[in-house]
Amino acid sequence: MRADALKRREHIITTTCNLYRTHHHDSLTMENIAEQAGVGVATLYRNFPDRFTLDMACAQYLFNVVISLQLQAISTFPTDPEGVWTSFNQLLFDRGLGSLVPALAPESLDDLPDEVSALRRTTEKNTTTLINLAKQHGLVHHDIAPGTYIVGLITISRPPITALATISENSHKALLGLYLSGLKHGMMANIGEHDGKS
């Protein structure tokens, strides 16, 4: 692929990811995406013959970004455990993980193309390494599983409901601090035991 064509393809992918951070996946058409990317619809379809192909290209891009951030965090963790851990989570949070993952995830992980599945496995392996490093330094409680951590981060990094965003300034980002603090203390063993009790 020529350098200009590759640059155009990458621009379409990053534009699509940015759109998914602020728009519901199903509200966007290929025409919307082409317009925002500044390319013709024919050019968009020439690069991505259907929406699934475009979504998987975005997923591949996202996984590569996350893997790069993970490797950087793993290599620098011993120098400043709390600073690296906080910064790593802030970077994922700022990149709109909570919007992008639901938009790009198929109904079944079995539907992921092989190259995307391989990146997902690498991401999971790196997540486990990071969680273990965080546990060693008292930043994550021993009862927190890697899956619980990532689902929690995805959940809190979803864009706030517009009507609720006015309740407290920067309340959305404040959730990250609360979340990281909660990771240190672990899950309440008796949660749900008092349901229905006076």
Q: Is the pLDDT of residue 10 over 60?
A: yes
pLDDT, position 156: 85
pLDDT, position 190: 55
pLDDT, position 91: 93
Classify residue 17 by burial, with Cβ atoms within 10 Å: 0-12, 13-18, 19+. buried
Domain ranges of the chain: 1-49, 51-198
Q: Say whether domain 1-49 belongs to CATH 1.10.10.
A: yes
Q: Mean pLDDT throughout 77-101?
A: 90
The CATH number of the structural domain formed by 51-198 is 1.10.357.10
pLDDT, position 198: 45
pTM value is 0.85
Averaged confidence pLDDT in the chain: 87
Structure tokens at 20: 């998914």
Enumerate residues 6+ apart whose C-beta is below 8 A from 3.
Answer: none
CB 130 within 8 A of CB 72: no
